[in-house]
Amino acid sequence: MNAEANLNIEALNHSALKEAMGCFATGVTVVTTRHEGVDHAMTCNSFNTVSLDPAMVLWSVRRASHSHTAFTEGEGYTVSVLAERQSLLATKFARGTLAERFAEVPVRRLSSGRLILDGAVAWFDCALETVVEAGDHDVLIGRILGFSSNGKAPLGYVRGRFTTLRN
């Protein structure tokens, strides 16, 4: 084994780990749910495909998040993939109260009762299938009930900064 493989987890430098993880470019999404009559939402860049057959996706939510219970005990969630010009929305849904997050944001309510953000390059409406405990987060696996995309350029995130993901 090389020295890097023998990393002492107890001495793990969280800042260095975050910097290294930041080298992996991701898309930026806002995940929403409706729980007990209240809309919840948060910015997320841990979104990923699980399976095409059946169509399934995943994302992770920090257990200490104020909306953790709403997402893990709700019936499902929607994922709005943000467009390149929606970085302000990404920031807005990362902090503040729910009222502040949704203030003056154009949304559309789906037949599932959950919201999608107008202007997103894609959206996925999902039934919650499984919640998997993983460290200080829970991984939420959902079965896709509906989706759409429009071909516009998505917003990206790498090394702590927003970027454009164009082909």
Cβ atoms 147, 123 nearer than 8 A = yes
Regarding predicted confidence, which is higher, 44 or 19?
A: 44
Average pLDDT over residues 109-135: 97
Q: Output the domain CATH number for residue 88.
A: 2.30.110.10
Q: How far apart are CA 105 and CA 102, in angstroms?
A: 5
Residue type, 8: N
Residue 23 lies in a domain: no
pLDDT at residue 5 greater than cutoff 50: no
User: Which three-class secondary structure state does DSSP give residue 6?
Assistant: helix
Residue 85 lies in a domain: yes
Residue 68 lies in a domain: yes
Q: Can you give the pLDDT at residue 14?
A: 74
Average pLDDT over residues 66-74: 95
Q: Can you give the pLDDT at residue 3?
A: 45
Residue-range definition of the domain harbouring residue 80: 29-156
Q: How far apart are CA 26 and CA 47, in angstroms?
A: 9
This prediction's pTM: 0.89
**Helices marked H in 28-146:** 68-73, 87-92, 98-102
Residue 1 lies in a domain: no
Q: How far apart are CA 33 and CA 70, in angstroms?
A: 7
